[in-house]
Amino acid sequence: MADAKSLRAPDGATGVLVLADGAVLWGRGFGASGEAVGEVCFNTAMTGYQEVMTDPSYAGQIINFTFPHIGNVGTNRDDVEATNPHALGLIVREDVTNPSNFRNIQHFDEWLKANGRIGLAGIDTRALTRRIRQKGAPNGVIAHNAWGEFDIDALLKKAREWPGLEGMDLAKEVSTLQSYQWRDGLWTLRDGYHLNEAGDDRPHVVAIDYGLKRNILRNLVAAGARVTVVKATATAEEVLALNPDGIFLSNGPGDPAATGEYAVPVIRELLETAKPIFGICLGHQLLAIAVGGKTIKMHQGHRGANHPVKRLDDGQVEITSMNHGFAVEVATLPANARETHVSLFDGSNCGFELTDKPVFSVQYHPEASPGPQDSHYLFEKFVGRLEKGA
């Protein structure tokens, strides 16, 4: 890693990452040309890079993948969590090879170009991960120029002036603009997605979209519900006018305290109805704030598909998929909020439920795409409460 005084690109360098602390990492650019500023984080998943890149929770972030072979199975139309990528760019160790998978329809490099996202190869991603672990997730600029022409001073200035994710509301930027119904189920190798699986006779879930992943909707349908999605700024009156049997609070990007300025009052009104509520990730954090808890910015965050979480009721360990840079301070939760899950990496809170209402949430991603499927039971738990009218 050089510093900002090394202004000239080394021979063959067509990409660069400039961190706000002055570090300069030269590499080989791919995907779209240009530059993007955001928070640099790392992800340890070995699979699912297309799901990761399209996860709205990664808005405002540049992803450093610790697994070296990213892009080698190409891309397809099915393995996406949103219409467009939301991660700003990615950093990898090895160059992207030609795709080797029967489901591929487009080379990863071409997919990035088509979607305006920047890639940077040839980086010691493990060294960058250690740097993030030691110093925290930095702000940075990723840039790609085919001729290797970069204004490092200007890039450094941009990295230092970017305000960072703390205090930033991004949910409104990635949320749907209008309500819609979702009835499709899970994907299988033989049949693809189970289209129009949910009929009108099923219990009705209204999902508030703070940055919703599609596989969450598919799992709700697979568990027996039909779903209507509403925008992040929907009022409690708008939600209740849809006559839901239960309410889902989605994942999403940014600082939960900032999103909570408009989301928390709505959630508090919904809590008063005593309808079943289920939250994931940002939805978990917003629910915690709504009941009186607080959230904090984590040093490096949790991002990957191999995070062990202990279920406190029976001591079972779930291997989970995670993506969050903020966490709930469990000591700030009220007496009627019982902790249900904890991270075995650092002991941070990964779930709680209310003892006097049919309300619960988890910090991790039980829809697990990418990731294991240890936590699918949570969707069945939620939908089961709807069917029972609990």
Residues identified as active-site: 281, 365, 367
145-to-150, 178, 301 alpha-carbon distances in Å: 7, 37, 30
The candidate with the shortest Cα–Cα distance to 290, out of 359, 386, 364, 211, is 359
103-to-74, 75, 77, 146, 225 alpha-carbon distances in Å: 8, 8, 9, 30, 29
Residues written for the chain? 390
184/214 Cα distance (integer angstroms): 10
Q: What is the DSSP letter of 90?
A: E
User: Is 119 buried (19+), middle (13-18) or exposed (0-12) by CB count in 10 A?
Assistant: buried
Three-point CA angle 194, 75, 321, nearest 5°: 70
Side chain identity at 321, as an amino acid letter?
S
First-to-last C-alpha distance (Å) of the chain: 57
Write the DSSP assignment of 11-27 as a string of letters: TT--EEEEETTSEEEEE
2-3 and 15-19 strand pairing: unpaired
226-to-186, 200, 220, 252 alpha-carbon distances in Å: 13, 7, 7, 21
Helix (H, G, I), strand (E, B) or coil at 284: helix
126-to-67, 92, 121, 178, 227 alpha-carbon distances in Å: 9, 10, 13, 41, 41
136-to-20, 21, 57, 128, 163 alpha-carbon distances in Å: 12, 11, 19, 11, 15
12 Rama sector, left if φ>0, alpha if ψ -120 to 50, beta otherwise: left
C-beta of residue 198 within 8 angstroms of C-beta of residue 379? no
